[in-house]
A and B are shown apart, each in its own frame.
Chain A
């Protein structure tokens, strides 16, 4: 992580004010570092211009992998490696393999996706987050604007945030 960076931190009380503020601030050409909220705010990711997450694709790939592994393993074990005669039925037939295949698909899709989520979001049990304002998990929405990526001065950015409904504007250095 980058160190010694200065941020202007705008605190918002209401999610609708926040979303319109994000849109307006970005129109003014200000680059927003990130917005922290106590709950998911709908439309915020579009307002911030984030690209849709590709986690569903990751999940699908893990799921397909699970399907293939489960079908292969069952067919190989009962069909080739150690065929068993159970009531004269086929050694390997598809219908009885479906339940285990389905379960294994779900298992890999779910676990693969969640582990991918933790990795791409850089979430670890031993890392302490860099918090701009501790109230962002309670009831405040926190917009962090980093000065290094913006041409405007601290005071100008602070004034713009205030104009768009920020209830407080603070400064934060890391």
Chain B
């Protein structure tokens, strides 16, 4: 018996049954990868290798290879760090916060979004790690481990240290949350492998599924674990970008020293994260023919979140300007005038166009339900969000208190190379994930098939 709501749009189209769900999602794990997949993997590996060369040079020669100077001591490295961490936020928002709000449309997108979170956080972590220069000593500098470098312990008053704890906790908890979701789905692939007679595959996926059976008792515990992990992840995800913003907000640099940063950064993070989820899912959906699971309705809902968070970000930009004027601090006022009209005006106006104006196009239903426009705007949003961090970091630093030390920042090949490395890593990891792991949470989708699947005509 199928029950179809007349009010809500179906979340699974094409009249799928529970059996079709296992079939459609497991197929891409079991089959041979397509040529397009190999081509994409090839491009990602080239980026990864070139980036790896740049990373080796950075370790060998030191971070003087970057274009940093005495005035601009943070530039692409921290910009990229904040950008990647922000992108990660959508995964946890979808899987944790939407679970707490019982939003069922999260179910077919949470797996891929969480995978994106994990890879994005790894990408982010490479920047501060390499910024330490002597990476191999980072253990002593970043963790409370006795050493002989001067101050015996790390400084727990520093937001940079909070960042270490926030990012590593966020990474490990997201990883566990993601893996918990994968356990029943690995068991599906194991049992299909047994039926097809692939013993090695069955062994591997059994180990990955921890011998999952799906008993009622196990499911009861499993659901309770998922709910609590969601409850823990929801404040965690908000804390992470709050702490990242405190790296700036607790300093005294004009342009950074603002109390608006935590909510502003968190909404910006969700904004860019959803854009990246859309970019990836539109490709994945096409490559693996998942149109019945990731429907236009899903895309529209994500676009609505982009309008909301994009508008919050826009209001934050305007508020910053207003407060700079209203606060009557000359240095702060100059900083904001310099953002809009100084030598980096193009970065500022790129940010404003991409982040404030482009998402407003989604007010039109035609635009937010169109795949091409969604794909284009999702990329524009992430370009804009990169510029936002560049504007905050570089423009606030490049004209400091002494006009004699004013300077500009020019990236070198190694700045670009490390950024490309993270792209190479991100896409390589995502492609491997999409090939070997089920990209959609089968167990969750199966639980809603009966209630929200479209009727067979």
Contact = CB atoms under 8 A, between A and B. Distances in A.
A39 B444 contact: yes
Contact of B17 (A36, A107, A137, A139): A139
A77 B156 contact: yes
Interface string A48-67: 10101101100100000000
Contacts of A55: 221, 224-225, 228
A34 interface: yes
Nearest to A111: B176
B219 interface: yes
Interface in A58-113: 59, 73-74, 77-78, 81-82, 84, 86, 89, 96-97, 99-100, 102-104, 106-107, 109-111, 113
Most buried by A among B1, B217, B444: B217
Interface in B156-176: 156-157, 159, 161-162, 165-166, 169, 172-173, 176
Contacts of B229: 110, 113-114
Contacts of A1: none
Nearest to B179: A114
Contacts of A36: 213-216
Nearest to B444: A39
B207 interface: yes
B443 interface: yes
A18 B224 CA distance: 21
A95 B155 CA distance: 14
A14 B207 CA distance: 29
B43 interface: no
B156 A137 contact: no
Contact of B195 (A110, A118, A129, A134): A134
A56 B225 CA distance: 8
B381 to A, nearest CB: 29
Main secondary structure of the interface of B (DSSP, over half): helix
B165 A99 contact: yes
Contact of B192 (A48, A104, A117, A138): A138
Given A15-B450, A45-B217, A123 B212 contact: yes
A120 B180 CA distance: 15
Is the interface on chain B under 10, 10 to 19, 20 to 34, or 35 or more residues? 35 or more
Interface string B243-285: 1001000000000000000000000000000000000000000
Nearest to A130: B213
A126 B17 CA distance: 32
Contacts of A113: 225, 228-229
Contacts of A50: 216-217, 220
B215 A34 contact: yes
A89 B157 CA distance: 10
A106 B232 CA distance: 6
Contact of B184 (A56, A99, A106, A137): A137
A100 B162 contact: yes
Contact of B156 (A97, A123, A130, A134): A97
A59 B226 CA distance: 12
B169 A103 contact: yes
Contact of A41 (B173, B192, B216, B232): B216
Contacts of A136: 191, 213-214
A131 interface: yes
Contacts of B206: 125, 128-129
Contact of B22 (A82, A111, A138): A138
A21 interface: no
Contact of B188 (A37, A103, A121, A138): A138
B413 interface: no
A14 B1 contact: yes
Contacts of A100: 156, 161-162, 165
B361 interface: no
Interface in B104-137: none
Contacts of B222: 40, 117
B210 A125 contact: yes
Contacts of A78: 153, 155-157
Nearest to B176: A114
Contact of A84 (B155, B159, B190, B191): B155
Contact of A104 (B22, B169, B176, B214): B169
B447 A40 contact: yes
B216 A34 contact: yes
Contacts of B195: 134
A125 B156 contact: no
A35 interface: yes
B191 A134 contact: yes
A137 B191 contact: yes
B228 A59 contact: yes
Contact of A39 (B180, B221, B446): B446
Given A41-B216, A139-B19, 6 more contacts: A40-B220, A40-B222, A59-B228, A103-B162, A106-B173, A131-B213
20 contacts: A37-B219, A38-B22, A40-B443, A45-B217, A45-B219, A50-B220, A53-B224, A55-B228, A77-B144, A86-B157, A102-B235, A102-B239, A103-B236, A111-B173, A113-B229, A114-B176, A114-B225, A117-B221, A125-B211, A137-B188
Interface of B: 1, 17-19, 22, 144, 151-153, 155-157, 159, 161-162, 165-166, 169, 172-173, 176-177, 180, 183-184, 187-188, 190-192, 194-195, 206-208, 210-225, 228-229, 232-233, 235-236, 239, 243, 246, 442-444, 446-447, 450
